[in-house]
Amino acid sequence: MATELANWLDRMHCGDAAALGAKLPSGCLDTIITSPPYFQQRDYADPRQLGQEAEPAEYVRRLVNVFAALQPALGPRGTVWVVLGDKYIGSQLLGMPWRFALAMQDAGWLLRSDVIWHKPNAMPSPVKNRPTTDHEYVFLFAKSPDYFFDADSIREPHVTFSEQSRMRGGRNHFGKRGGTPEKGKNAGSQNLHDGRWDQAFHPLGRNKRTVWSIPLSKFREAHFAVFPEKLVETCLQATCPAQGVVLDPFSGAGTTAVVAQRLGRRFIGFDCNPEYCQMAEQRLAQRFLDFPQPPATDESE
């Protein structure tokens, strides 16, 4: 399999994601990180594109089928991260992210987390009869309950006992025997009731929360907002081991590949638009001049 896999690694492949994914060696991927085209948001001018379906149900069906085609290539401890925005049609919010997430559950995937990607620099909106949307969803799916997840690599700074703490009593509980709030909830933690909060906290920080505030990114060669590198970095560090392999089946400008190469992982990129494949290759070559990339090849069916 090593020789077969080498033909896929660290390059972009132009073609239909499901068709290309069906050709990947079995179990070769550690994780999939992607943001697929959103429903009726942008026309990518390719007959193989996803997102221009007439009905939400057809869009969801096609997207779930892509991941079904990729599933054999995902290792037994593999995971899938999908970033997806919603859509208004006829003054109605469609709930597209959750339609997709529930369909993935029905297809046998384990939905492990829903993350809110808060965009602090979201574009202003002229709407006057509803709040302005400044978030998207990030879903984490697993192939099996025994999936790879490195929680320590993405820990956050502790807030308790810091100036940002909103805990009742603030830092006055620290070092005081019996000073723990919510005693019923924390009754089983002897360190807390002995005033030893410092021993109850992980030295690397608290577990990652499910609201990520990450600004939108721009790439000067692209006429659209690209995947933020920080968002991809968080997903990659958590679910792709060192020297592991990540696939982005809707690679666009190649942000997942850029982050993977920077963090010492191998990558595979798919996109049905040859212009985007070329754009991603050029971006990789410019950022990593010591690691020139082979030209993209059209391997569509």
Q: What tens digit of pLDDT does each residue of 262-295 get? A: 999 999 999 999 999 999 999 998 865 544 444 5
Enter the pTM of the model: 0.84
Helix count (H) and strand count (E) of the chain?
9, 11
User: In the chain, where does the domain assigned CATH 3.40.50.150 lie?
Assistant: 2-155+208-298
Residue 300: pLDDT over 50: no
Where is average pLDDT lowest: 58-62, 186-190, 256-260? 186-190
Q: How many Å apart are CA 109 and CA 209, to the nearest integer?
A: 22
Residue 106: pLDDT over 70: yes
pLDDT (tens digit, 9 = 90+) per residue, 75-98? Answer: 999 999 999 999 999 899 999 999
Residue 37: pLDDT over 60: yes
Q: Which residue has the higher pLDDT, 208 or 46?
A: 208
Q: Taking the mean position of all CA atoms in its chain, how far away is CA 12? A: 19
Architecture of domain 2-155+208-298: 3-Layer(aba) Sandwich (3.40)
Average pLDDT over residues 165-169: 58
Residue 110: pLDDT over 80: yes
Task: Break the chain down into helix, strand, coil percent, rounded to 5.
Answer: 30, 20, 50
